[in-house]
Structure 1
Amino acid sequence: MNSSTSIAVSGTEGIMHSAPTAGFWGLMLGSIGVVYGDIGTSPLYAMRESVLAAVGAGNPASEPVVLGILSLVIWALLIVVTAKYVLLLLHADNNGEGGTLALMALAQRGLGRAGASIILLGIISGALFYGDAVITPALSVLSAIEGLKIVTPAFDPYVVPITVVILLALFLVQSRGTASIAAFFGPITLVWFITLASAGIWHVAQNPIVLTAINPLHGIEFLIAHRLVGFLTLGAVFLVVTGSEALYADLGHFGRRPIQAAWLFVALPALTINYLGQGALILADPKNIENPFFLLYPEWALLPTVVLATAATVIASQAVITGAYSLTQQAISLGLLPRFEIRHTSAA
């Protein structure tokens, strides 16, 4: 069955196609931009949404609440990303390839006839990724542009229009390909992670009690004390791991060791320090919950940070869009979707 609809595959392919021939450090730098772009922009909104889910808008957050949420955030990163993906799933490759459908095919071979039900799980998992690809660009870019309101309230009426323009431009360039700028994704995202860590360290030093959040008992006590609210807050906490599936999906492009090294030595420390810094900021003044990410930075650094955050969110959005294209291509090859015309715009 043929379809007249075409898919223009672009974005990070310029990096991905050259990845196998690059050295370890080049692969590691490339993976920082492509693999960790999405999860790297979660600090823009994840901490704020988690605290608001726990206490509600306009209510101050107590120290046990902040420490409990920080503990849940840290252990979500350690369990879901580090243990599940970095230490476990990266070793479950399908002939060197990763991703939801690659894992489905691997499980089918292992289970034999009983593996038929695995197809349904693969389809559901793919659908969840498509959902992530739909909401990530809008949520991430909007959260970055909201920093303009901190620079000056005069920008408030323009936040949504600016976001819409950026998103329209992002999707319009898909048909033309973005390989010419994809080489900058890794360096820009690396600078972003350095910026995350730099801002967090200062505020952690001002309020080092947040370091006790590494103790998982804070998170457990929070869930027990808040019951249903705690459970709902846990849903918001999992915003910190959105995009973590890219670790496995891009296994074939960058290899296991560069992806693991980029997470353990760059992304994980930077994210952890930044979340702890946001927690310290909220403890210092509960009013900072309005936008704890951008309030981490001094006034003179706000505008450059907004620009960098916007670039990081565009990179994250491009990576997840390209991931959706790749998932579609895999689904077509497995017969899970009708055949589409596929145009590799960045390969021209």
Structure 2
Amino acid sequence: MFEKAHRESVPLTDLIAMLKRSSKTRVPGTAVFLTSDPETAPSALMHNLKHNQVLHETNVILQVLTATKPRVAPGKRIALTEISPDFKVLQLTFGYMETPNVPLALAQCRRLGLKFDIMKTSFFLGRRTFKAQSKSGMPAWQDHLFIALARSAANATDFYRIPTGRVLELGQQMTI
């Protein structure tokens, strides 16, 4: 069931409905899946379901946004939405002059009812590795430039100050 869904983007609500009908093994703790689009199931979540065949007791779909203001007041930083008893969507907004600190913001979520232990929380990140295709339609030098720029992009773990011992990166190779 999840094989086909893994190959295409799946709306998060559709995935949750599929999971309710399945018998995935549940493991204790909290899983945080970083995404740029909270409406769609993150690729790291889909990879975890496909390869590990497990789902955590609590799953947080996390989107980190950058505001057009230099700073965001701590009271306006967090938006938490419960999609189902075991899935929540969390949006954290930081000003463009601030350095995002995800663990600190997560600690502030406790007063909104998000209960978790940071030492029992796993952060899942999707990582894409690009490979040049022999006939991509673009000149080869453009493919190689794009690949070099993608490799030199900032590491999300460091940028968001996520504890390195709590991060799992699930990768995908893409041909351009």
Which of the pair is proportionally richer in helix? 1
Give the TM-score normalised by structure 2. 0.27
Query: TM-score if structure 1 supplies the norm length?
Result: 0.17
Greater RCO, 1 or 2 (C-alpha within 8 Å, sep 6+): 1
